[in-house]
Amino acid sequence: MKEQIVSIILAAGKGTRMHSQTPKVLHKICGWEMIRYALQAAPRGEEAPVAVIGHGADLVRETLGGAARYAYQAEQKGTGHAVMVAREYLEGRGGYAVILAGDMPLLRRETLESLIEKVRSESAAAGVLTCMLENPAGYGRIVRSGAGLVQKIVEHRDANEAERAIREVNTSVYCFEIPALLGCLDRLTTANAQGEYYLTDCIGMLAGEGRRVTAMTCPAEEGMGVNDRVQLAKCAKIMQRRINEGHMLAGVQILDPDSTWISPEAAIEADAVIYPGNVIEGESFIGRNALLYPGNFIENARIGEGCKVGPNAHLRPRTVLGPNCRVGNFVELKNVTLDEGSKVSHLAYCGDGSIGKKCNISCGVIFSNYDGKHKFRTEIGDNVFVGCNANLVAPVQVQDGAYIAAGSTITQDVPAGALGIARSRQTNKEGWAQRRAERKE
């Protein structure tokens, strides 16, 4: 039989302590739902990992789509029961089942791979990933034999005094030989303090039968589970540091890593410089030598090399800046492309459109893209100068080299090289102030 790896992610629990309508595993860390980290860490066989879902099942399914296979656990009767409902994905297979929880975002794939390797090389029936904790209260304790092998796992609530003194805890991450696991699932009972089917009992059963059960200890950080929002923030802080350090070691300058939040899927080239307070979400890209001044919010946007952005700009999805563009303070861009060397330097909104090369979009310009029902595009050629406080009412085109006079509301296309001016002519009433003062007397 070909050796296979089937990963199972336990994610059916409610997460009562989050006090949230959102299922626990969909709470986000650096912009990613926690379960995405589990999915990314889970070793892959030929087929996608299996997510055991229950609370908020539809939302979890929507989030992961085809990246996972699913088992539905209607009622949460314990971690052992959660694996039982995923049986169909294990039956008739050799190889190993890797079981992890959907609420452990800091677990690394390499750690899971080493666990599999340890079980394989020792010909063990199972391996448990453990952590050493100063305060192990609440966790299952790892009971080892004199020879150092795992004898059983005792849940905190079921443990005696001596067992509670053990500081090595179960992270709820395992690697089982699939046939050995299936043999145990049939025999689980609910004879324990919580009246649940404990997956941990499989460990005791295998050891009791004289099968080898091994353990691997990982840094406490990786074993951290998220049960409430305090732990969510703690894990997020650690993930933030991991991501930022990765970029810094690859040549990105981050002035204040503590106030800089970057999504795990953002790409940033070397020699980009990031000032404090930038938040970069989604699959954003930041090119070489780009300068992000303080306080920008960048969502699924691409910033070309040498661009200068901010302070306090908002780049919304599908914004694309070519090389050496300038986007200044209080500018909002959405679904718009700027070609090389163009500038939108202050207080502007440009949504749904394109701006050619070397254009100047002056202070206060607005792309009026929405009529209350539909969105329309504003298309601007190369070398166009749009004066201050102009409104471009889309759909509209401004061709190469055209100028738009300040304060204009442009509703018709402007041909190449023309001046578009659309505002009433100014009149000055001579002596008006004097006459007004006299009226008041």
* Residues acting as catalytic residues: 346
Chain residues 211-230 in contact with ligand UD1, contact rule CB under 6 A: 225
| Binding-site member from 4, 20, 76, 354 for ligand UD1 (CB under 6 A) | 76
Beta strands in 357-430 (DSSP E): 360-361, 366-368, 378-380, 385-386, 391-393, 396-398, 403-404, 409-410, 419-420
Residue 82 binding: pick among ligand UD1, Ca ion, none (C-beta 5-8 Å cut-off by kind): ligand UD1
170 binds, among Ca ion, ligand UD1, none (CB under 5 to 8 A by kind): ligand UD1
Residues with Cβ within 8 Å of 399's Cβ and at least 6 positions away in sequence, in order, are: 381, 384, 413, 414, 415, 416, 417, 418
Q: Print the binding letters for residues 288-327 with Ca ion: x by CB under 5 A, - otherwise.
A: ----------------------------------------
CA-angle at 17, arms to 16 and 23, nearest 5°: 50
Long-range Cβ pairs for the range 137-144 (8 Å, 24+): 137/164, 139/169, 139/170, 140/169, 140/170, 140/172, 140/200, 141/166, 141/168, 141/169, 141/170, 142/166, 142/168, 142/169, 142/170, 142/215, 144/168, 144/215
Among 10, 115, 203, 348, binds ligand UD1 (CB under 6 A): 10
Q: Compute the distance between CA of residue 183 and CA of residue 346 in angstroms, rounded to an integer.
A: 68
Q: What is the DSSP letter of 131?
A: E
DSSP 24-79: GGGSEETTEEHHHHHHHHS---SSPPEEEEBTBHHHHHHHHGGGSEEEE-SS---H
139 forms part of the interface with ligand UD1 (CB under 6 A): yes
DSSP state of 129: E
Q: Is 101 a binder of ligand UD1 (CB under 6 A)?
A: yes
Matching residue, tokens 């954003």: 284
Give the other-Cβ count within 10 Å of 151's Cβ: 16
Using the structure block, give the residue that is written with the tokens 């089982």. Answer: 176
Pick out residues in 50-69 that bind ligand UD1 (CB under 6 A). Answer: 52
Q: Is 78 in the site for Ca ion (CB under 5 A)?
A: no
Task: State both tokens at 201.
Answer: 């009992």
Nearer to Ca ion, 54 or 225 (CB): 225
Q: Does 13 bind ligand UD1 (CB under 6 A)?
A: yes
For the bound state, the minimum distance from the C-beta of residue 85 to ligand UD1, rounded and expressed in Å, comes to 8
CA distance 44 to 351: 41
DSSP letter for each residue of 279-310: EEETT-EE-TT-EE-TT-EEES-EE-TT-EE-
Count of residues near ligand UD1 by CB under 6 A: 27
CA within 13 Å, CB half, 430? 0
Contact partner at residue 342 from ligand UD1, Ca ion, none, CB < 5 to 8 Å by partner kind:
none
Regarding 225 and contact with Ca ion (CB under 5 A), the answer is yes
Residue 66, Cβ neighbours under 10 Å: how many? 7
126 touches, from ligand UD1, Ca ion, none (C-beta below 5 to 8 Å by class)? none
State yes or no: residue 78 binds ligand UD1 (CB under 6 A): yes
Q: Tell me if 100 contacts ligand UD1 by CB under 6 A.
A: no
Among ligand UD1, Ca ion, none, what does residue 36 contact (CB within 5–8 Å per kind)? none
**Which part of the chain contacts Ca ion (CB under 5 A), choosing from 3-11, 105-113, 223-231, 240-248?**
223-231
Stretch that binds ligand UD1, among 100-108, 110-118, 237-245, 262-270 (CB under 6 A): 100-108
Which of residues 13 and 204 has its CB atom nearest to Ca ion in the complex?
Answer: 13
Site for ligand UD1 in 150-189 (CB under 6 A): 153, 155, 169-172
User: Which residue, 203 or 410, has its beta carbon nearer to Ca ion?
Assistant: 203
Q: Can residue 105 be called a binding residue for ligand UD1 (CB under 6 A)?
A: no
Q: Which stretch, 27-35, 78-86, 237-245, 278-286, contacts ligand UD1 (CB under 6 A)?
A: 78-86
Residues that contact Ca ion, how many (by CB under 5 A) = 1
Which of 203, 327 has the CB closer to ligand UD1? 203
Q: At what angle do helices 178-185 and 200-208 cross, to 10 degrees?
A: 100
Write down the least CB distance from residue 201 to ligand UD1, Å. 8
Binding residues (CB under 5 A) for Ca ion: these are 225
Binding residues (CB under 6 A) for ligand UD1: these are 10-13, 52, 73, 76-79, 81-82, 101-103, 139-140, 153, 155, 169-172, 198-200, 225
